[in-house]
Amino acid sequence: MNILYYNHYSGSVNFAREWRSYYLSKGFLSWGHEVSVVCASTHHMHREIVEQNESFINKNVDGVNFSWIKVPSYAGNGLSRIKSMLTFGAKVLFSDPISTLGLSQPDLIIASSVHPFHLLGALRWARKYKVPVFFEVRDPWPLSLNLLLGLSKWHPFSLLLQLFQYIGHKYTDKTISLAINLEPYMREHGLDEGKFLYVCNGIDKTQERASNSALDEKLTRLRDKYKRIIIYTGSHGVPNALEYVIDAFNSIDVSSIALVLVGDGKEKKNLIKRNCNSNCYFFPPVNKDEIQRVLSFADICIISWQDISMYKYGVSPNKVFDYMWAKKPIIQALNSPQNQVELANCGVNVKPGDTFEIKEAILDLSNRTDDELTHLGEKGYDFLMENYEFKDLAKKILDAYKDV
């Protein structure tokens, strides 16, 4: 079977920083299927500047056929980013995957958000080639923009997204959700009964894991200095709610505990200014294949979320799966039913935005024995391997295709 996967932001371990399509595609490959991923030539998840003169470029990456469609570059979240989205959507609509892009005739088409403007193209080519089309919702725009960033639901961009959201739910054969409890919301916005398919994020056990990282020297010094090291890896943005972690750690006067934050984002400078604990360290991001090496220096991992109603629908956090894979106990500040940390019973879940509860969780886990921490980490690892391997997640999509 040939699968055509549209995702504006898709990357691989070697470029960009959006890996779901890549790992799911490798999962499809493991079941004997061919995959072509159509994505944009450049976007904000690239760490490097990308220049592409051709209308499209095809290249095979680890067995996955990638096709990069040329779009304008942009910075920030203004009109230039919207222009890039609309350009990608328009080019998908008018670029026949066979005659224009030179790809194989598809048996299944997947159109992946966050933005949905390539849906019309996916529907067009699905109709032409008489194949099913699945709508993958990685982030429920405009809902998350309304709740996280304060975008009015009556804003023209929000209304446009709502229209495409309805089209995606109503006119595709299945809607794939990364959030376990999102079906009721989708049913209110065009989704028919029986079309909902929950496929969370996960891990690929075959991915390379570096034996060293760019932070080894610094982390080794910290390992020698502190009894307990708590590590966060990931974005330092508004949704990550790290200000509450910093405030909680500022209130801890224990010289044997260190907090290490690895990553970058718009809030990093503010977080550094906010910090007044000399045992807190900020380090730059590392390559994905170095994450597990970095986490090997941790005793405990931490993740924080904003306290917003959107998370009642569920979450699919890559960093939690990274933490579980590293066999580390997890402190999580999140209000979301059926979240992975509580299901796995592999750490402590506290109220988001509550610095006292975060502080108490840090002190609680830091005072536990090495054996107790190891036991929690093992529980998370076992839960991960039983439920969230990308090969098995890909099989869920393939099984749904058989039922269409």
Q: Which two tokens stand for residue 361?
A: 């969780």
Question: In the numeric block, which tokens belong to residue 291?
Answer: 């994450």
What is the enclosing helix (H) or strand (E) of 250?
helix 242-250
pLDDT over threshold 90, residue 170: yes
* Per-residue model confidence (pLDDT) at position 47: 59
> Lowest-pLDDT range, 65-74, 187-196, 359-368, 395-404?
65-74
Name every residue whose Cβ is closer than 8 Å to that of residue 360 and which is 6 or more positions away in sequence: 350
Nearest Cα to Cα of residue 142 among 202, 193, 194, 85: 85
Question: The whole model's pTM is what?
Answer: 0.88
Which pLDDT tens digit goes with each residue over 100-149?
999 999 999 999 988 899 999 999 999 999 999 999 998 888 888 887 77
Backbone angles phi, psi at 392, to 5 degrees: -75, -35
Give the whole-angstrom CA distance, residue 392 versus residue 203: 10
* C-alpha span between 115 and 276 (Å, rounded): 39
| Cα–Cα distance measured from residue 333 to residue 306, given in angstroms and rounded to the nearest whole number | 8
Helical packing angle, 242-250 and 355-366, nearest 10°:
60
CB 45 within 8 A of CB 17: yes
Task: State which H helix or E strand residue 133 sits in.
Answer: strand 133-137
At residue 348, what are phi and psi to the nearest 5 degrees? -125, 130
Residue 283: pLDDT band (50, 70, 90) is very high
Q: How confident is the model at residue 78 (pLDDT cuts 50, 70, 90)?
A: confident
For every residue of 183-232, DSSP letters joined together read HHHHHTTTPPTT-EEE----B-TTS---S--TTHHHHHHHHHH-SEEEEE
d(CA 297, CA 281): 14
Main-chain phi, psi angles of 276, to 5 degrees: -135, 20
- Crossing angle for the helix pair 156-171 and 119-129, nearest 10 degrees? 20
Q: What are the structure tokens assigned to 166, written together?
A: 């309805």
- The closest of 302, 307, 369, 295 to 332, measured between CA atoms, is 302
Buried b or exposed e, range 162-194, using 16+ CB within 10 angstroms: bebbebbbeebbbbbbbbbbbbebbeeebbeee
Q: What is the pLDDT confidence band of residue 345, given thresholds at 50, 70 and 90?
A: very high
Quick check: 2 and 106 in contact, CB under 8 A?
yes
pLDDT tens figures, 171-217: 999 999 999 999 999 999 999 999 999 999 999 988 888 999 999 99
